[in-house]
Amino acid sequence: MDEETPDDLRTVILRWGMLGVFALAIALFLITVPRGSSGRDPERAAADTTALWRKLQATTSPCDLANLTVVAALSGPRDTEGLVNAYSAASSGSQVCSNVWVQVLGLKAPPSLPEDARDKFNATLEACANAYLRKSAMLKEMAEVIGGNGSIARIALVQALGNKASAETAQCADDFKAIAKSEGLAL
């Protein structure tokens, strides 16, 4: 029978000790990583996506409200006071929508989502931001028209910007919901 020398014994202990540490690390990893093919927590992803949707709605609502205020002002009397109110609403609405654009650009998809879903949400958020920038431009041009610089070309530009911004903001919401649905997330 071979006798182990103290150096051989140390080597065996170190080898088994390192294997034990490695096995413990794997066991801890398996215990702490959420189940599922991606290692992601679907409940967390759903909650984070719903929170992002609510944040997007809250962020964009001041611009949407500013647009409604302009529409109401334009529906009022066509006297000097009515035109001043409409001009003021359009001018301040443009600034509000410009601020919304910046705020929406700051929104990002949550890290709890898979990378491809984050990329889709982030692209949609960028498109949403640009729609609100277009609303800002439309309101700025509208203020110019109300203020007396109402060439036919400028009026046509206001109409074109308004139509495009309306379509884009609707598409923003539709795309966001479609991505959530494709990821199995309900809003």
Q: Which two tokens stand for residue 164?
A: 């495009």
pLDDT value of residue 72: 94
Sort 104 into a burial class: Cβ within 10 Å, 0-12 / 13-18 / 19+: buried
Please tell me the pTM assigned to this model.
Answer: 0.76
Over the chain (187 residues), what is each successive 10-residue block's mean pLDDT? 55 53 52 51 92 97 96 91 95 98 97 95 97 97 93 94 95 95 87
Structure confidence at residue 185 (pLDDT): 86
Distance separating alpha carbons of residues 147 and 71, to the nearest angstrom? 16
Please give the pLDDT value at position 36: 43
Torsion of Cα atoms, 55 then 133 then 74 then 56, to 10°: -10
- Tell me the domain boundaries of the chain: 1-32, 42-182
- According to the model, what pLDDT value does residue 42 have? 86
